[in-house]
Chain A
Amino acid sequence: MSDPAISIENLTKVFRLSLKRETLTAVRNLSLRVEPGQVYGLLGPNGSGKSTTMKIVLGLVAPTSGATRIFGRDSTDVSSREDVGFLPENPYFYKFLTGRETMHFFGKLCGLGGARLRDRSMELLELVGLRDAAGRRIGGYSKGMLQRIGLAQALIQDPRLLVLDEPTAGVDPAGSRDIRDLILKFKARGITVLLCSHLLGHVQEICDRVGILDRGVLVREGPLDELISIENQTELILENASAALLADIEQKALASGARIVDSRKPQTTLERYFLDVTGGPARRDP
């Protein structure tokens, strides 16, 4: 059996508040597993411990107790980061570098070089739709382009795990849709994704499994479908149904003892409507 992509066991993180004896427990006895190939959503309100958990997974913060492993390697071990790509919230790169130079810089940090690095950089810039902007300085990139170059640099060493912190924060709906499509592409290629987001609609669309943190405690965890489905209700969506058929169904349902909770025309989402009106996700930043 292969190692889990992320394994967190009894993780606790206590911060000492400076010059005081007070402490803050950011994460309390957290245990969870993210299996290879999953898209896992880590949810929670502000201050719930999501970022701390993510930083511990990335080895940026040391746990007070417990253990975190990435594909079986302790996350405090620098080598574990060979398998990880990270996109921080509101990523900021060196403004004086072009997109291509940014990719080369992060590639060199991962031990890549020469033609292999050049090819890989262009391949990823193409993937995230920034090939034409490769020679432009990052300082002139829009918010959406920054998120996309952030995703490209996260993938430079071909990691098996991507950790994404609010990947669509501050991005317009078209850019947001682009990023979600990219995440789904990564999933299709077998890349595991740990996603932290406040945008629950996005999480619902792409995650297989979610964990909900509240004040440092994992309060719910499981497959998304199981967590959000209402067990004693059934949704039936019909197309071109006549009024007579609907009346018949309603009558039969009532006769069998079922209660009709709601009956209405389904609506498109505001996002889909917005994308239809503005030209859709295909339209990218120049």
Chain B
Amino acid sequence: MSALPVTSHRSFSPSRVLAICSITLLELIRLKVFYILLLFSVAIIGSSLLMVDLTFQEEFQMLKDVSLGAMSIFTWLLAVLPTALLLPKDTEDRTLYTILAKPVGRFEYLLGKLLGVLCMVAIATVLMTAVSYVVLYVHEQSVIHSTARLVPPEQVQAATDSIRAAAFGVNLLPGVAVLYCKAALCAALTLFISTFSSSWIFTVSISVCVYLIGHVQSVARDAMQMKHPMGDAPLWNSLFLLVVTVFFPDLHIFSLVDDLAVGTPAPPLLIAEACGLGLAYTCGYLLLAYLMFAWKEL
């Protein structure tokens, strides 16, 4: 048996992270998570077939609305459910011991796991976006052909341009980007919860609760400000809101996807702010997950 040359250990190695990321992605693909894309396709294609008595603008709007709505649900499901399973599965199967008994830092392990999930969500998001575009394109061609038969020849070009503008607005891709950042945040949050949770059901339940609180916290803050405009709210109220604000993500900003879906343009800065917030929370939760996992006795 030949001896290997001695290499000096680096406390962080992208190749170790990449190895864990690839194996996690492969594991998730093996868990058949992409079957969820079939449901997505059925939802989009089904909704395109069910549209009757609508103008073509309304039809395209509805298709985009359904696409972003379904994408929002499916990216969330893909981010939370598999992430909740990863740590308990590795612990139960003892693969965690075998991996961490190698010169692998716990941060590298967690980062690799999270990146694996994020790659899977990215692939799913790209595929869902592609399905949405294909359905939109097929529907657009169908509308163009049927309109061409109804309008005089000199108006065909104008009608086609108007149909194309209605079908492919600029709002879909920014909406998808915002949804992806929100899914990344939810995956990191779930990973953090799974570092101290005793079961994946508990992890998912807590993740859902945090998600809901994240969506209503800005409403609660606004309500308190309206009730106590002079800042004279009871101390425990203020403390409670402070704790909620610090520990729970403010997911209200991601609601801008709803505006994008109905065709309302959003300023690029707002989209960048939503994406930036999503990524900042993702990093924050990853750090919290590491702090919790670093002290965990395996």
Please list the residues of chain A having a beta carbon within 8 angstroms of any beta carbon in chain B: 15, 55, 58-62, 78-79, 81-82, 84-86, 88-94, 96-97, 105-106, 108-113, 116, 120, 123-124, 127, 150, 153, 155, 157-158, 163, 189
Contact = CB atoms under 8 A, between A and B. Distances in A.
A96 B93 CA distance: 14
Contacts of B55: none
Contact of A86 (B4, B15, B19, B97): B97
B9 A88 contact: no
B215 interface: no
Contact of B16 (A55, A108, A158, A163): A108
Contacts of B27: 94, 96
B146 interface: no
Contacts of A127: 1
Nearest to B31: A96
Contacts of B100: 58-60
Interface in B100-146: 100-105
A81 B95 contact: no
B2 interface: yes
Given A88-B94, A92-B93, A112-B4, 7 more contacts: A86-B101, A90-B94, A93-B98, A94-B27, A108-B16, A109-B16, A127-B1
Contacts, number: 102
B230 interface: no
A82 B98 contact: no
Contacts of B3: 158
B101 A158 contact: no
Contacts of B98: 86, 88, 91, 93, 106, 150, 153
B266 interface: no
Given A93-B95, A105-B19, A110 B102 contact: yes
B11 A61 contact: no
B23 to A, nearest CB: 6
A123 B26 CA distance: 26
Contacts of A150: 98
Given A78-B9, A123-B2, A158-B3, A109 B104 contact: yes
B13 interface: yes
B103 A82 contact: yes
B103 A81 contact: yes
11 contacts: A60-B101, A60-B298, A78-B11, A81-B101, A88-B97, A97-B26, A111-B7, A111-B9, A112-B4, A120-B2, A124-B1
Nearest to A95: B30
B99 interface: yes
B182 to A, nearest CB: 30
B15 A106 contact: no
Nearest to A81: B103
B297 interface: yes
Which 3 pairs from chain A and chain B are nearest by CB?
A86-B101, A108-B19, A79-B9
Interface of B: 1-4, 7, 9, 11, 13, 15-16, 18-20, 23, 26-27, 30, 93-95, 97-105, 295, 297-298
Given A60-B101, A82-B9, A158-B4, A109 B19 contact: yes
A79 to B, nearest CB: 4
Contacts of A109: 16, 19-20, 99, 102-104
B178 to A, nearest CB: 33
B94 A110 contact: no
A97 B257 CA distance: 40
A218 B85 CA distance: 39
A111 B94 contact: no
B90 to A, nearest CB: 10
A84 B97 CA distance: 13
Contacts of B105: 78
A108 B15 contact: yes
Nearest to A158: B4
A189 B3 CA distance: 11
Nearest to B24: A94
B69 to A, nearest CB: 33
A96 B104 contact: no
B97 A110 contact: no
A158 B4 CA distance: 6
A55 B19 contact: no
Given A61-B298, A86-B98, A108-B16, A96 B30 contact: yes
A157 B94 contact: no
A113 B22 CA distance: 15
A94 B103 contact: no
A102 B62 CA distance: 48
A189 B4 CA distance: 14
A124 B101 CA distance: 19
B93 to A, nearest CB: 4
A162 to B, nearest CB: 11
B87 to A, nearest CB: 14
A78 B4 contact: no
A88 B103 CA distance: 16
Contact of B15 (A88, A111, A158, A163): A111
A76 B230 CA distance: 53
A110 to B, nearest CB: 6
